[in-house]
Chain A
Amino acid sequence: MSTAAFIVIAILTLAPALAAASLPKLIHAALSFALAFVGIAAFFFLLGAEFVGLVQIFVYIGAVAVLIVFTILLTRRDAATPDKFNWGGVVIAIAVFGGLIWAIFLTPGLSIAPPQIEALTVKRIGEVLMTDYVWPLQCVGLVLTAALIGALILVMEEKP
């Protein structure tokens, strides 16, 4: 885990995230959002959780970002109007950030180097998913099915 890679990924994550939060045009914000999630996936790779990084790329850039772009295009007339920026949110966000930083730096024993670990293989994750986590896995499948059916019903054209 090298510091140079960490700094580069941190910049590549936080800059698009800030852009996504502050760009006035929705479509630019959605593309910055996708870029920020590439950065978070890179963090997962850096942390040795390659599978989570891949899932992040598939789900967020492959599905959620495309879904957001589709929604922006479907609600286009509204997306053209400029967005009013509410500065109260900035104050609250900075306050929350300060609180979190304060808590992090006051907690002892956090500035540790990563221990040596054996690599987490996809085979191991599959074994764990199918043994210890088989019930959560089924529940997540049920939740996803219900959510997709619910989303379909929500956007279905109402019969006259």
Chain B
Amino acid sequence: MTPTLTLFLTISAALFSIGLLAALSRRHAIFILIGIEMMLAAANLNFVAFWRFSPQPQPPIGVMVAIFSIAIAAAEAAVGLALVIAIYRHYRTTNVDQLDQLQG
């Protein structure tokens, strides 16, 4: 017996939920970034799983989308971490609860 598409989608859903958990329940900005990266990776897993379980299209669209998505995630991580460092310089904290200057 080999793993079916359902199993891969379940793993991907679990990974997405864990990423959402990290992004919503932690207060450090870096934790939130880690959660976002995890959600992006879960989406990539879905893309590749659907590519593998479909009749093979030419070109391999699922794999291509996953590669581009990884590149975009890298850019997002670089800018996000730069923002965290800039915020830390300015406010001496990375706790998102304390960054409430724009709150009305």
In the bound complex, do residue A3 and residue B3 qualify as a contact, i.e. CB atoms below 8 Å apart?
Answer: yes
Q: Determine the chain A residues whose CB is within 8 A of the CB of B52 once the complex forms.
A: 47-49, 114, 117
User: Measured between alpha carbons, how far is A144 from B71 in the docked complex, in Å?
Assistant: 8
In the bound complex, do residue B88 and residue A75 qualify as a contact, i.e. CB atoms below 8 Å apart?
Answer: yes
In the bound complex, do residue B2 and residue A125 qualify as a contact, i.e. CB atoms below 8 Å apart?
Answer: no
A residues contacting the other copy or chain, number (CB 8 A): 86
Instruction: Given A37-B41, A89-B25, A125-B63, check contact A74 B85 (CB 8 Å).
Output: yes
Encoded as 1 (CB less than 8 Å from any A CB) or 0, chain B from 43 to 64 comes to: 0110011011101100110011
B103 an interface residue at 8 Å Cβ cutoff?
no
Q: Determine the chain A residues whose CB is within 8 A of the CB of B68 once the complex forms.
A: 133, 136, 140
Q: Determine the chain A residues whose CB is within 8 A of the CB of B88 once the complex forms.
A: 74-75, 78
Encoded as 1 (CB less than 8 Å from any B CB) or 0, chain A from 123 to 160 comes to: 01100110011001000100110011011101100000
User: Measured between alpha carbons, how far is A29 from B32 in the docked complex, in Å?
Assistant: 11
Least CB separation from B26: chain A residue: A83
Instruction: Given A36-B38, A49-B48, A52-B44, check contact A83 B11 (CB 8 Å).
Output: no
**Secondary structure at chain A's binding surface: helix, strand, loop or mixed?**
helix
Which chain A residues (47-97) contact chain B, with CB distance < 8 Å? Answer: 47-49, 51-52, 55-56, 59-60, 63-64, 67-68, 70-72, 74-75, 77-79, 81, 83-90, 92-94, 96-97
In the bound complex, do residue B93 and residue A78 qualify as a contact, i.e. CB atoms below 8 Å apart?
Answer: yes
Counted as pairs of residues, one from A and one from B, with CB atoms less than 8 Å apart, the total is 247
Instruction: Given A20-B38, A75-B85, A83-B26, check contact A47 B49 (CB 8 Å).
Output: yes
B102 an interface residue at 8 Å Cβ cutoff?
no
Q: Which of B7, B63, B78 meets A151, CB within 8 Å? A: B78
Q: Which of A17, A75, A88 meets B94, CB within 8 Å? A: A75
User: Measured between alpha carbons, how far is A113 from B28 in the docked complex, in Å?
Assistant: 42
For the complex formed, measure the closest distance between the CB of B54 and the CB atoms of chain A, giving whole angstroms: 8
Instruction: Given A64-B77, A93-B21, A110-B6, check contact A40 B45 (CB 8 Å).
Output: yes
Q: Which of A55, A81, A154 meets B70, CB within 8 Å? A: A55
Q: Determine the chain B residues whose CB is within 8 A of the CB of A70 once the complex forms.
A: 81
Contacts A/B (CB < 8 Å), 19 sampled: A13-B11, A40-B41, A44-B45, A49-B63, A49-B66, A52-B67, A60-B70, A79-B28, A97-B16, A114-B2, A120-B60, A125-B63, A140-B72, A143-B71, A144-B71, A144-B75, A147-B75, A147-B79, A154-B86
- In order of increasing CB-CB distance, the 7 nearest A-B pairs are A89-B25, A89-B24, A147-B75, A97-B17, A151-B82, A93-B21, A21-B22
